[in-house]
A and B are shown apart, each in its own frame.
Chain A
Amino acid sequence: MNVCVTVNGKVYERVVEPRLLLSDFLRHELNLTGTHVGCEQGVCGACTVLLNGDPVRSCLIFAVQAHEQEIMTVEGLAPAGTDKLHPLQEAFRDAHGLQCGFCTPGFLLTLLPFIEENPNPTEQEIREALSGNLCRCTGYQNIVKAVKLAVETAERGE
């Protein structure tokens, strides 16, 4: 089947089997390997991408379902054409919100709309927001700190 999808602002067209998962489509067809595949059963959240602005698990959607939709992956976070990171990525780095980094793309894309919709979240709200993503290194403490740091940075208008 023909799939025409916009990923990080760029239009891609491919012919794929209907059974191809969106996560595998991004990685194998488009070579966008920033989206990580952990459990392939919708539990770990590592493959989270934005589908028309909303975080979804890309291992639970078929690529053909993304036809004529807009996807954002971790590759679309940092401003193009610069060596700068997105402020949320900066906050993760500064607060040690990652160690091995496998889960990080999923966390970033889960948190991006959350921070935009909740400019002043409580710790409880932050923990609920990231409850659908597993991290086996950090113990989550520094991820929570990174979110707080990102929020504070945004508040100061940096």
Chain B
Amino acid sequence: MKPAPFDYHAPTTLAEALALLDEYGFDAKLLAGGQSLVPTMNFRLALPEILIDINHIADLAFVRNEDDGLHIGALTRHAELERSELVAEKAPLLAEAMPNVAHSQIRNRGTIGGSLAHADPAAELPAIMIALEARFRIQSQSDDRWIAASDFFVDLFTTELEAEEILTEIVIPPLPARTGCAFLELARRHGDFALVGAATRVTLDNLGACSEARIVLLSVGNTSVRAVLAEQSLQGKALTGQNIRDAALIASDQDIEPPADMHATEKYRRQLTKVLAERTLTKALERATSAP
């Protein structure tokens, strides 16, 4: 199991990387953390002719807080996000999910931009970004655009990124007032891909009723899936135990068409969805109640 030959480029600036992508397009692959790309190259499932290693572009790795939210450079490694006090303060849902992102050795190399661009439906980060209404900066030599996380993920391992584009930056807006979030997943072994996971966000109005709920599920479809009907069922309602249980049932019965595979049956994924939706909604409510 050895990768096929390729030409290796290691640009030190974004401009150089964009120029290379512009020149080679589909023949090139970006190498960030490599924790998903290199296994597929070892299997020769991926046979890029050109590998553009972006690890030397120091400008792409940062975490900083600005007025419009938390800005994260695409090359920021998972371990950095896991340790970051700024992430824990400004995006607690992301901080809560990070220890579940693979194993420590992989978090030391893997990057947030790489994980998002890879768009694995079992990955935590896409679901977190949709739950937090993050937006992504996408650059090419001729363009510089922003896209909402909810519009970015198209299908299995497929995103809105064109061949000559790089995802360079992620912005997570500040949470509204009276908002709480929670993340939970179930995996057979800590750090493995989740059988099902749920990233949930709840915002309460002045009277304590639910003004907005977001429930984003992972490992139940070709992309992260929003449980839209369940979210709507909670709108304007008091988040009583019964209402939360009803919403969880809607999520598991109506919002998803989960796949069956060697890891879990469809029925089991629905059961897990119900349990995780209920638990994350309950936790998010608790946090929203004590939030400023």
Q: Which A residues are within 8 Å of any B CB, using their own CB?
A: 1, 17-19, 21, 24, 40-42, 45, 48, 51, 54-57, 59-62, 64-65, 110, 114, 127-129, 131-132
Residues of B141-197 contacting chain A, CB below 8 A: 189-192
Q: B191–A19 contact, CB under 8 A?
A: no
Interchain CB contact under 8 A, A1 and B8 = yes
Q: Name 20 interchain pairs, CB-CB below 8 A, sorted by A.
A: A21-B38, A42-B39, A45-B105, A51-B109, A55-B105, A55-B108, A57-B106, A59-B38, A60-B34, A60-B38, A60-B109, A61-B34, A62-B8, A62-B34, A62-B38, A65-B55, A129-B104, A131-B191, A132-B102, A132-B103
Bound-state Cα–Cα, A1 to B6, Å: 12
A48 to B109, CA, bound (A): 12
Q: How far is the CB of B2 from chain A (nearest CB, A)?
A: 7
B42 close to A59 (CB less than 8 A): yes
The answer for the CA separation of A57 and B37 in the assembled complex, in Å, is 13
Q: Count residues of B near A (Cβ-Cβ below 8 Å).
A: 31
Chain B: CB-nearest residue to A58:
B105
Q: Is B89 an interface residue (CB 8 A)?
A: no
Please measure, in the bound complex, the distance between the C-alpha atom of A26 and the C-alpha atom of B104, giving whole angstroms. 22
Closest A residue to B1 by beta carbon equals A40
Closest CB of chain A to B8's CB: distance in Å? 3
Measured between alpha carbons, how far is A56 from B105 in the docked complex, in Å? 4
Chain B residue at minimal CB-CB distance from A127: B190
- Contact between B2 and A21 (Cβ–Cβ < 8 Å)? yes
B243 on the A face (CB < 8 A): no
* Chain B interface residues (CB < 8 Å from chain A): 1-8, 10, 34-35, 38-39, 42-43, 51, 53, 55, 79, 99, 102-106, 108-109, 189-192
Inside 8 A of B79's CB, which chain A residues have their CB? Answer: 54
Minimum CB–CB distance from B25 to chain A (whole Å) comes to 20
- Interface contact A110-B104, CB-CB below 8 Å: yes
Query: Chain B contacts of A18 at CB under 8 A?
Result: 5-8, 51
Determine the distance from Cα of A19 to Cα of B5 in the docked complex, in whole angstroms. 6
Residue with the greatest number of chain A CB neighbours at <10 A, chosen from B4, B7, B42, B79: B42
For A62, list chain B residues within 8 Å (CB). Answer: 8, 34, 38
A61–B109 CB distance below 8 A: yes
CB distance from A20 to the nearest CB of B (A): 8
A57 touches B105 (CB 8 A): yes
Q: Is the CB of B42 within 8 A of A41?
A: yes
Contacts A42-B38, A61-B38 given; indicate if A19 touches B106 (C-beta within 8 A). Answer: no
Q: 9 closest pairs, A vs B, by CB?
A: A132-B103, A18-B8, A41-B39, A54-B108, A40-B1, A60-B38, A131-B190, A19-B3, A131-B191
Whether A19 contacts B2 in the complex (CB less than 8 A), given A59-B42, A62-B8, A64-B8, comes out as yes
A80 to B190 alpha-carbon distance, docked (Å): 36
Contact B191 A60 (CB under 8 A): no
The contact of B42 among A17, A40, A45, A51, by CB within 8 Å, is A40
- CA–CA, A56 and B111, complex, Å: 13
What is the chain A residue whose CB lies nearest that of B33? Answer: A60
Q: Within the complex, what minimum Cβ distance (angstroms) separates B103 from chain A?
A: 3
Given A61-B34, A128-B191, A131-B189, also A19-B6 (CB < 8 A): yes
Contact of B106 among A24, A42, A65 (CB under 8 A): A42
**Which residues of A are found within 8 Å of B10, using beta-carbon distances?**
64
Chain B residue nearest to A20 in the complex (CB): B2
Q: Which residues of B contact A128 (CB under 8 A)?
A: 99, 190-191
Contacts of B1 in A (CB 8 A): 40-41
